[in-house]
Structures are given as C-alpha cells and as structure tokens.
Amino acid sequence: MDAFCRLSGLDPLWDWNRTWYTANPDLTQCFQNTVLVWVPCVYLWLLAPFYCLHLYCHDSGRIHMSCLCTAKMVLGFLLASFGFVEFFYILLERSQEIQQHMVFLLSPIIRSMTVILALCIIQLERIRGCRSSVFLFLFWVLAVVCSLVPLRAKIQLAMDEGIASDIVRYLAFFSYFSIQLAQLFLCCFADQPPEGKTVLEKNPCPVKDASFLSKILFWWFTGLVVKGYRTPLAAEDLWTLREEDTSNKIISELQEDWTAECAKLQKQEKALASGAALGSRLPDQAQLLRKLQKEQSSGFFLFRTLVRKFGPYFLTGTLCIIFHDAFMFAIPQVLSLLLGFMRDEDAPLWKGYFYATLMFLLSCLQSLFNHQYMYTCFTVGMRVKTAVMGLVYRKSLVINSAARRTCTVGEIVNLVSADTQKLMDFVVYFNAVWLAPIEIVLCLFFLWQHLGPSALAGITTVILIFPLNGIIAKKRSKLQVKAFMDGRIRLMNEILNGIKILKFYAWEKAFLEQVLGYREKELKALKKSQILYSISIASFNSSSFLIAFAMFGVYVMQDDRNVLDAQKVFVSMALINILKTPLSQLPFAISTTMQVGDVYTPVILSIFCLMRNKSTNSTTKCGVTHRIIHFFVDRINVRVPRGSLVAVVGHVGSGKSSLLSAMLGETEKRSGCVTVKGSVAYVPQQAWIQNATVQDNILFGREKLKTWYHRVLEACALLPDLDILPAGDATEIGEKGLNLSGGQKQRVSLARAVYRKADVYLLDDPLSAVDAHVGQHIFDKVFGPKGVLRDKTRILVTHGMSFLPQADLILVLVDGEITESGSYQELLGRHGAFADFIHTFANTERKESAIQRGEHTLQLAMYKKYFKTIGLAIIIPIVFLYAFQQGASLAYNYWLSMWADDPIVNGTQIDTDLKLTVFGALGIAIFGTTVAISICGIIASRQLHMDLLMNVLRSPMSFFECTPSGNLLNRFAKEIDAIDCMVPDGLKMIPERSLWVSRINAGVLLFHCGLQSFYVATSCQLRRLEAVSRSPIYTHFNETVQGASVIRAFGEQSRFILQANDRVDFNQTSYFPRFVATRWLAVNLEFVGNGVVLAAAILSVMGKSTLSPGIVGLAVSHSLQVTGILSWIVRSWTDVENNIVSVERVNEYADTAKEASWSVDGSSLPLAWPQKGTIEFMDYGLQYRKGLELALKGITLHINEREKVGIVGRTGAGKSSLALGIFRILEAAKGKIFIDGVNIADIGLHDLRSRITIIPQDPVLFSGSLRMNLDPFDTYTDEEVWNSLELAHLKTFVSNLPDKLNHECSEGGENLSLGQRQLVCLARALLRKTKILVLDEATAAVDLETDTLIQSTIRTQFEDCTVLTIAHRLNTIMDYTRVIVMDRGHISEMDSPANLITQRGQFYRMCREARLV
C-alpha cells in the first residue's frame, strides 16, 4: 500500500508522529484517499450478496415509488455523478501522468460504483417490501464517519490558505459530504407500507411503521407515553398485537412443529420395534430406545420444539448482550487512559477530548445493545407465555374426570398466572447462567493487570460472597413459600365457591382460621426468605467495598512501594462495579433456572399428554395417580335405536352419570368400545352457565334463528322467566349463573342443548331442579312423544317415575351394572327390583337468587395506608439509618480520591495503615439496612391480608353475586404476592438510589423528574389495564374446566379456544407496551447519563491544570454509574407505584357494604335459644338490591312450634327468598321476623345462623376430611358424628372407605356423587339438631328411594322441631300441617294440604300436574 501511495506522490499509509505523537493530529493523505474511501465500499460489496439473498427469501410485497424513495434515488445519482465527474476531470487534466495519480483516479470511481450498488439495493428493497434498511443505514453512517477526517482537513486548509485557492474542489467536497448526510438523514425514516398490505386494524402497533433508528431508540413508543400523561389510557388506546405475537399464529406454528417432531419420534420407535421383532436386539438399539423414552417422558421434545420456534430470535438478543459486554469492558480501559492523560502534564489536550468522546460513544453503544437484548428477551418471554397458556388451555379442554380430580381449578389458574411468569423470567435471565461467570473471570483478569497478585484477595472475597448467595438461593427455594401460598389460594377458591354455605352455617370463623393458618406458615417462610434475601442484597450492596478493601489492603500491605494512584483506584472500582452485576444476576439466574424446572414439569405433563393424545376421543392419564373413584360402570352392553327415548334409573351412586360420561368419552375406557353416530348435545346434572347473556348461553356460538329460538324458549318454559329478568334474554348472567335460580339455570342449560338440533341427546337428570308442573311441561314439549326432540335419540337419566311409561326403553343400574332393561310394562311384568321400586314411589320441584355489578377507583392515599400499617415508630429509624448509610458511602468514596492524590515520597505513600483503617471503618458503615424493611413489609402484608380476608368474609351475598371469583382470587394471589415481595423490594432500593443521585447537578435531576412523571403516569395505567385484562383469562379458564364435558359434548372446543386466544391477546396488548415503556425510559435516561459522563470527562480535561487525578477519577467513575442509577431509581419507583396499586386493589373492598356484626356485645340471648321454634313474619318485605321491585311483599305469617310447613310455587315466586330472609342472607326492606319472640335483626348473624339449620339446594363440600366437612369447629365427638352418618344412611358407605371419617374429599366433593353429597348435608343438619330446620329443595338431586329415606329421617329425628320445606316433589309435603303457596312475592294460598286440594286453587292444579290427585 505504501508503494501504491508513493507512486501517486503521497506519504506512507500510516505515520505515528503525524497521527498520535503530535499536538495537531491528522491522518496521512494516503490513508484518507484509500482506507477511508474504501472501508464503506468494502462493507457494501462484501455483504451485499448475503443481504440480497435475505431480501429474496423474505418478500413482504411491493412498495410504490414514494417521495422518500425518489429523494434517495435523486441524491444517489448526484453522489454517483460527483465521482464520475471527478474521475473524468482527473483523467483529462492528468492524462500524461496518469500512473502518478492512480490513487486519486481509483477512489472516485470505486465510490461511484458503490453508490450505484446502493441505489440498486434501494430498488430491490422497494420491490421486496423492506421499509427501513439497517444495512444501508450502517453504510451511510460509515461513509459519513470516514468523510469527517477529510472534512476537518479541508476546513483547516481553507482556514490556512483561503477558500479562493481551489473553490471548485472545496464546493464539490462540501456538497458531496452534505448529500451523504442527507442520505443518512433519509435512512432514519421508514417508507410507506407495501401494496395490498395496508392494515385495516383499528389501532396498529407503530413499531411496524418505525425506522431502524426509531426501533433501536424506542422513539416509536413516545406517542403512547405522551397520551398516557395527558389523559388516562383506556383499552381502546392500546395497539393491536403484531401478527407474530398473536396466540393463533404462535400456537398454530408450534403445533405444526410438534406434529413433525411426533411423527419423527414415532418413525424412530417403529424402526426400532421392527428391528427388535426381526431379532436384531442390539445393545445400542436398546439404549437408543431407552433414550427416546426418556426424552419423551421428560418433555425434551417439547423443549426442543419451543427452542426451534423461539430460538433464532432469542439468539439475536444473545448476540446483542455479547456486544454489550465488549463495550462494557472497553469503558474502564478508556477511563484508565483518561486518568493517565490527567497525570501526564505534557499530553496534548486533544487526547483528553478524544478519550472523553470515545467513552461517551462506548457508553451509548453499550446502552443500545443492552436494551435491544432486553427487548428481545421480553418479546420471546411474552411469546413463550402465550404458547404455554394456549397449550395448557387446550389441555384443560380435554382433561378427563379422573385427572380433573387430581388438579384443582386453583392449580390450573396458578399454572397460567404465576408459573408462566416464572418461565418468562427464565427466558430473560437464562443467558446470565453462562455469561455471568465469563464476566466475573474477565473482571478479575483486568483487576490482576492493575493490581497484580493482590487481585487474588478480590477473587477470595468473590469466592466467599458467591457461595453465600448460592446457599441463600438454595435455602430460599426450600422454604416452600409457594406451597403454602398454593394451599391458601386453593382454600380461598373453595371458600369463594361455597360462600353461601359458609354463611348459612356460620362457618366463616372456622375457615378464617384455616386460611390464617396457611397464611402464618406462608409469612413465617416468607420472613425467613426475605431475611435471607436482605442478607443477599446487603452482601451485594457492600460487595464493592469488601472486594476493594481486600484488594487495596493486600496491595498496600504487601509492599511499601505499592502505591494507590487514581488510575489503580478508580479503574479497579469501575471494574468492581461491573463485577457487581454478574454477581447479583448469577444467583437469581440459577434460582430462576431451578424454579423453572419445578414449573416446567407440570406444564410438560399437561401439554405433552395433550399433544400426544389429542387425536383420541377419551383422555388418558397424564402421569398422575388417581384417587379411588367410588362409582363406576362395568360390563355394560346396550344398544340404543335411533329416535328412541331411553330412561336410565337407579339409586344414588349406581353409575347413571358415569354411563353418560362413557358415551361422551369422558371416562377412562378399560375394555370394549362406545360408538355414537351423529352429533351430540349434553345437559349435565349440575347446570353449567357462562358469564354471558341468557341469549349467548342458549345460542352457544350458533347463529340466531328467530322462529326456532322462540320455539325453544317456549318449549323449555323460559318465556315467563324472561319477563321477570330486567333485560329479558339480554340480561347478563353472573359468574356460575349466580343471578338465576336453580330451575332457571337448568332450563337455560336444556335450551342450549335443544337449540343445537343435534342427533343424540344425553340428559343427566335435567328435571330435578324444576317445579313438578314445569317438569311435566318440559317433558311434554321437549322429550316426550310430541316434543320438539321426538325424532331424536334421547337418553334421559331421571328420578321422575311419571315419565317412565312414555320411555321406549328403561335401563335399571345397580352398582355400575344394568340389572334390568326393557319397556315400562315389560319391567313391571317381571315383578323384579324395578317393579318393587315403582310400587313404592312416585314424583318432583326448586329455587332463587340475585346480582349487581361493581367498579373501583384509584386512591392516592395508598402510600399513607401502607406506611400507617407499618407504623411511624419503625419507619423514622429506618430513614435515619439509610441517611447514615449514604453519608458513609459518600465519605468512603471521597476518602479514596484523597488517598489516590496523596504525594509519593521515595516511591511510597505515608500513613497507609491509617488510611486503610479509615477506609475500612467507613465501608463497614455502608452495610445495608434491608432486613428492617423486609420485616416492615411482612408487618404490612400480614395486616393488609387480614383486612382483605375480613372484608371479603364480612361482605353480603350480593357482593359475591356481582364480583367474579377470578377478581377476588386475583386479589388473594397476585396482589397479595406483590405486597409480600414486590413493594418491600422496591422500597429497599429507592432511598439508597435517591440519596446517591442527590450528588448529581440540578439540570439532570430536573430532566430526570420530568421524564419520570411521563413514564410513571403511563406505566401505572398500563399495569392497571394489564391487571384488569388478566382476570377474564382466569375466569374463562375456570369456566372451561368446570364445563369441559359440556363444551366437548357440543363440539364447541374451537370456539372456546378462539375466546381464550382473544382474552390472552387482549392481556398481551397491555403487557407489550408495559415492558417497552421500561426500555423507552431506560434508553432515554441512559443517554442522559452518558451525557453526564461526557460532560464530566470534558470538564475534567478543560480543568486539567487545576484538578487532581483523584477528583477526576471520582467524578468520572460516579458519572459512569449515573447511567444505571437513574434507570434504577425510576424503575424502582415505578415498581413501587405499580405495586402500590395492589394495596389499593386489596383495600378497595374495605368500603363495600358489609353484613351486620357476627355477634353483638352484651347480648342477653339465652344459650338454648330458640327453645320452641316459633317463627313470626310481620309485614315482611325483601328486595335483592335497592331500586328493584320487592321479592317478598308484606308477608305476615305465624308458624307454631313443631309445625311442618311446605312452601311451593313456580320459579321466581319467592320461595327461597323466605329462607334467605330467615337467615338474614338478605336484610329486610320492611317489616320484622321474630323467632321465639326475639327480633332476629337485633342479634348477631352468627348467633342467629348457628342456632337454626338449613339443608341447601346445592350440596357443597370443601377439600379436606369428611369429618371437617361435617364439624369444622370440632364441637362434636366421633360417636355423635357416626350417629349422624347412620341416620343419614351414609354409615355403610363411610365405613367401607379406607380412611373412614378422615377420607379426603376433593375440591367441591367431586369424588362423591351428587346424591352422596346431599346426604352429607343431611348429616350436618342431624349433627347440629336445632329447633328450626329449613330444607331448600334438598332432595331434588337424589333418587326417590333415597328421598324417602331422607324424608322419613326428617320426620323422626326432627319431630320436635319446626320444619320449613321448599319443595319440588309435592308428595314429600302432603302430610305437613300447612302448605304455603307463593306467587310473585305474595302468599296466594295457605292451609293444610287436604283443605287446599278441596279449594281447587293453585295447589290443586300443581298436584294434578304431579298426578297426586
């Protein structure tokens, strides 16, 4: 190259004396005309083929020739023409000496050809739909940077010689440089969308329209931040998800990859199996087969599929973090050069400015690559979360009943909330597992370079700190905080589902104690965890001091000639500060990786079974042990002809529901086969209702056909109910159908099936929950020979004897086997068990409830509430401790700078021992006070959880009817978790960082505060929106798990999957801007911090003559930390702001309406009250909520002691409202109720509810022992409990259980049949044996034989009690002393049954319909 340059009469390529060792540096003419010209050209020509191949493989459509593209082309042609003009000008002017001007001749032509190549790439990008080019942006950056040196030289020459000497050449160069700048400027903008790709989305994400520069600096996000600052953000303001982030796209692609993996696996298994069959049992084949089975069972294949799907994008992030680390380690080396420059009195100033600028550029590049890495990780994490949630949801749709009993709804909700979050954390911190050790090794290597073997002292300190953090992480993982939290959430889920029973039985205190028991264990573990974490943070915060003290101490004590100057001190401190990051990340990364193993296992078990078995009809066991199922079907052989009506009868637990489950493919098949021809509709025994309108529940995703829809409503007797409902069929039904009565829910469930027009109808006792006359109407209009389903195949499980004569075939089930089958007459003629059954028994009736809706508002008093909960006596000392800690931190840093500036006398520094001692003393003072804040956090969270629990349990039933359980569970799970951990963790950081930043100048602080106010406003709103959109996901999961059999029976899986996708996507629309907001803030703040670094360095260079190296080292090393600290403060503050919302959300139920006191102080109520059991209603009125019509209107009634009163009436008449009034579930709107002469409004709710008993319509059991379900307070002896079980006809069943009274009931008592659960409720009543008993349609779900047993037990055991029975089966109340007929909230008839029949009124008509007269 030198020879080539000499040929043109130029200097050599490089000359150190001209470039470096000079006060006026410059590059040689040869370097300027060759290397600086050729570098951008070589970049473009070398990489262009690969880039063109990339464009060829990624076609996004053609872009119209826009103004931007035209401007680029015009400017490009101008640039190319400059080169050609210069080439021909030299060719003509120097034609005689052309060989002496080869450098000047080649450079312009190479430049022009390169520009033409760039223009071709611009056109190719336009054709392939590339809107913003990273490739060309970097080319123009290189071109402009390489032109800066010639530009400076030209300006210097013009100033020395004047511009007139060669005005044309000057103007040409300046014009060329200006056009290059213009091209670079134009590359900062994105082109218009391709043809046909104009998105019709309502609010598309602006990242798609952003240029490369806008993407790396996150400028595209600014619009939302400004909008959030000006006005509160609403869901409509959020952008729609990019297609690549949507559930549909992610899961469909993942399933394709998984199918390919499975096919490959099966192929390998078949090949090995066939090899084995041929006799070639080679050891290596056996090993390979074992390996395949191991991979399959461990979920390795699923992990590999996830890696293939998300790995390539994740690797781009990994590349970014590697570049970030390279720049991060370069900064201390440049700082060393800057401090060396400060010490060298003869060094020219330009070197100082050069180092300052270089440090600024390296800091900027470090920030950019770091945040691109974080953005990539969070995006991948979000996609992994979407994939896992989608796959778990699909699994929940195919989960069978046996597996359903092994995983509760709470566990599934936990899987999609907390556990998916841990998977996201794993994605973000995975690289730290392998990168942090490398960073630690590099830090120690550079420290060795500065301090020699003394760095080993630092290594020893690291070796001591590192295992400490590892031990802490291990101990924290063993504390089982999550296990106690899961238990608490599971119990809360059951409490919320069975809250009505708790209130009826006054069991709130018993379950309160259970929850608090879990909570105390959780807090005890949490306290240990937080103390360990605080020790970890304290060791982290003081790690800089400990490492520095060890290294500097050993260094100065080792040899008197070892002196600490500014270079050694502050470069070492910069490296130690770098060392803190991997030291803090590594334990967390290891802990997250270990935790993700625990999380990954259940996810794998769920998803793996789904994907391997999704082609089969019946789900198989997912590697879990099932509990014993106490009802089953065995050796069933039956064929149902098309269009026939088949009735299935049998006792409780005989296997009737199991038979239908087998037909649906819901049970595990051990032998034989089940064939169902045509489409299926299913009506479950317990109606499953969605949180949607009545119409949506009936249509169930189908198009509305008005005539058929009206016919279905009429056939299912729903038209009168729609007249009562506030908005008719547009009335929103509360979660689990809370604002519908039992009969209404069952009829909506039936209407859903009828509307479907299916071929086969499986009906699991749908008439048990409706009145007798309504049941007859439905049978005649729907199932019967003249009903709308007369031509369909109908399999009806029933306890109603009156319908059996019209059945084509009757199946009698006993202990899971069909003992008899045939028509009604055939079975009667056989004089078998069925005939005896019929001769003994005959007929059926049921309920009510209500709802409202609620919202919440933000209260800024949450900080006050939180700190008030802790107490000022604790807070004030902590503030002083932090102030003292920060003062010590500042003093020890300043002491280091003074030490570094100490003069060196005879190669040594004086009083090193004293300096080291003072340094050590100041360092010890900076040990953290984080344990105190952890304890404060636990004090606050204990009280806030207690308040929340009491507020929820003390709320009236109307509150639970209008508040989705998903919302309440979210409060007890995620919000309490945030108060337990996130708020204290944020508070630990703020005082320390804030006091640190007080050392920065006012201008930076002002900008910092302004940016913070913008960010915090938007971030908090985004968090709220994200939290609000999270609850519907859990509610939908909850609904799906409970109604999975119905959804499968109707073949509606795809629609529910779409709904789940929509809910997850809606949640991600607020989560995506949340994490981008953090990146936007960090980039902006770090660029401010980098500006502070530049300012500190330049001011140090300018004040070189007056400033000492120690002060410069202190200033620059502190300014280097500003970059991270500013982001830390805002992020920590925002985390606290975001998480303090949890205090607000937990506290919002404090102001909702509460029930009356559970007990009244100084009450004179006798212990034996009520002694007689008389009940008196005086002008009693009741309404479900203010503004609604009265449900009971002026009821005046006197019930004598030991009187047996039946209450009948059609749905909505007010039967159950009477029971609600007696138990004060609803308070009186007017009038009074007296029991034994005591006004029930004057006594405590528990005093009232514990002295009277109800057997409710819905038999609710809780997970726990059978004994706990009967006697949660342990009030009664085992003998009394066994006696109650015997009277409830359960003694034989319980005696046969392995654990007897300690038999574990699953969630909701699902391992018992519905009839058995009802008998357990009867046993509860027998155990309490109060003077007043209310039966709320208590025997509707049991067969007639069991009903007779219950009725006879009630007649004998409650003979001296007052009994009120809300009845569907009129035969059960025919021997009662009185019957009350309710109609629209009034008593329409009241007399003895015999008298009412003779009056031939409403009761007579009901008896006639029930075929009792």
Q: Express each pLDDT in 246-257 by its tens digit.
A: 888 888 888 887
DSSP strand pairing (1204-1208 vs 1378-1383) = parallel
- Averaged pLDDT for residues 82-105: 68
Question: What was the pLDDT predicted at 616?
Answer: 39
Q: Judging by beta carbons within 10 Å of its beta carbon (0-12, 13-18, 19+), is residue 72 exposed, middle or buried? A: buried
Residue 1382's nearest CA partner among 1173, 1206, 1162 is 1206
Q: Is the pLDDT of residue 998 over 70?
A: no
| Confidence at 612, pLDDT banded by 50, 70, 90 | very low
**Cis (ω within 30 of 0) for the bond into 1170?**
yes
What is the tens place of the pLDDT at every residue in 1021-1039?
887 788 778 777 877 777 7
Q: Judging by beta carbons within 10 Å of its beta carbon (0-12, 13-18, 19+), is residue 168 exposed, middle or buried? A: exposed
Helix (H, G, I), strand (E, B) or coil at 543: helix
Question: What was the pLDDT predicted at 207?
Answer: 86
Question: What was the pLDDT predicted at 1209?
Answer: 84
What is the tens place of the pLDDT at every residue in 1113-1170?
878 877 777 766 666 666 666 667 667 777 777 777 777 788 888 888 777 778 878 8
What is the tens place of the pLDDT at every residue in 762-781?
888 887 767 667 777 888 88
Q: Is the CA virtual torsion 1360, 1361, 1362, 1368 positive or negative?
A: negative
**Calculated CA dihedral for residues 237, 242, 246, 250, nearest 10 degrees:** -160
Q: Measure the CA–CA gap between 285 and 287, rounded to whole angstroms.
A: 5
Q: Measure the CA–CA gap between 1261 and 1248, rounded to whole angstroms.
A: 22
Helix (H, G, I), strand (E, B) or coil at 1006: helix
Q: Measure the CA–CA gap between 180 and 172, rounded to whole angstroms.
A: 12
Question: What was the pLDDT predicted at 627?
Answer: 23
Share of the chain above pLDDT 70, in %: 79
Long-range contacts, 1025-1028 (Cβ 8 Å, 24+): 1025/233, 1025/234, 1025/235, 1025/238, 1025/1070, 1026/1067, 1026/1070, 1026/1071, 1026/1074, 1027/970, 1027/974, 1027/1141, 1027/1145, 1028/235
For every residue of 282-351, which 3-state class applies, written as one string?
A: CHHHHHHHHHHHHHHHHCHHHHHHHHHHHHHHHHHHHHHHHHHHHHHHHHHHHHHHHHHHHHCCCCCHHH
Q: Which residue has the higher pLDDT, 1302 or 1043?
A: 1302
Question: Which tokens belong to 847?
Answer: 């309920």
- Averaged pLDDT for residues 685-699: 82
What is the tens place of the pLDDT at every residue in 630-643?
334 456 777 788 88
Lowest mean pLDDT among 997-1006, 1075-1084, 1307-1316: 997-1006
Q: Is the CA virtual torsion 929, 932, 937, 940 positive or negative?
A: negative
Question: Is residue 496 within 8 Å of 960, Cβ to Cβ?
Answer: yes
For every residue of 734-752, which 3-state class applies, written as one string?
A: CHHHCCCCHHHHHHHHHHH
Question: Which tokens belong to 265?
Answer: 């696996």
The conformation of residue 453, written as its DSSP 8-state character, comes to: G
| Confidence at 97, pLDDT banded by 50, 70, 90 | low
Q: Is the CA virtual torsion 1189, 1194, 1200, 1206 positive or negative?
A: negative
- Averaged pLDDT for residues 262-274: 71
Residue 170's nearest CA partner among 183, 150, 186, 154 is 154
| Enclosing H/E stretch for 793 | strand 793-797
> Which residues are paired to 797 by β-bridges?
648, 764
Q: Is the pLDDT of residue 1004 over 80?
A: no
Lowest mean pLDDT among 120-129, 423-432, 593-602, 952-961: 593-602
Q: Measure the CA–CA gap between 84 and 81, rounded to whole angstroms.
A: 5
Question: What was the pLDDT predicted at 608?
Answer: 44
| Confidence at 287, pLDDT banded by 50, 70, 90 | low
Question: What was the pLDDT predicted at 617?
Answer: 39
Question: What was the pLDDT predicted at 319?
Answer: 93
- Per DSSP, the residues of 185-217 read HHTTSPPPPPTT-----SS--GGGG--HHHHHH
Lowest mean pLDDT among 500-509, 530-539, 1040-1049: 530-539
Q: Which residue has the higher pLDDT, 376 or 1357?
A: 376
Helix (H, G, I), strand (E, B) or coil at 1095: helix
> Which residues are paired to 817 by β-bridges?
814
Question: What was the pLDDT predicted at 41?
Answer: 92
What is the tens place of the pLDDT at every residue in 1219-1244?
888 888 888 888 888 988 888 888 88
Q: Which residue has the higher pLDDT, 345 or 1012?
A: 345
What is the tens place of the pLDDT at every residue in 819-835?
888 888 888 777 666 77
pLDDT, averaged across the chain = 78
Q: Judging by beta carbons within 10 Å of its beta carbon (0-12, 13-18, 19+), is residue 149 exposed, middle or buried? A: middle
Question: What was the pLDDT predicted at 343?
Answer: 82
- Averaged pLDDT for residues 374-379: 92
Q: Is the pLDDT of residue 1172 over 60?
A: yes
Lowest mean pLDDT among 245-259, 409-423, 676-690: 409-423
What is the tens place of the pLDDT at every residue in 316-337?
999 999 999 999 999 999 998 9
Question: What was the pLDDT predicted at 116?
Answer: 92
Helix (H, G, I), strand (E, B) or coil at 114: helix
| Confidence at 738, pLDDT banded by 50, 70, 90 | low
The conformation of residue 975, written as its DSSP 8-state character, comes to: I
Q: Measure the CA–CA gap between 55 and 1248, rounded to whole angstroms.
A: 78
Question: Is residue 730 within 8 Å of 694, Cβ to Cβ?
Answer: yes
Q: Measure the CA–CA gap between 225 and 1017, rounded to whole angstroms.
A: 8
CA 1079 to chain CA centroid, nearest Å: 20
Question: Is residue 924 within 8 Å of 813, Cβ to Cβ?
Answer: no
DSSP strand pairing (809-814 vs 680-683) = unpaired
Question: What was the pLDDT predicted at 73?
Answer: 92
What is the tens place of the pLDDT at every residue in 941-957?
788 888 888 888 888 88
Question: What was the pLDDT predicted at 1134?
Answer: 66
Q: Is the pLDDT of residue 515 over 60?
A: yes
| Confidence at 178, pLDDT banded by 50, 70, 90 | very high
Q: Measure the CA–CA gap between 776 and 1142, rounded to whole angstroms.
A: 52
Q: Is the pLDDT of residue 290 over 90?
A: no
Q: Which residue has the higher pLDDT, 992 or 434?
A: 434
In the chain, the N- to C-terminal Cα span, in Å, equals: 119
Question: Which tokens belong to 1271?
Answer: 């006697």
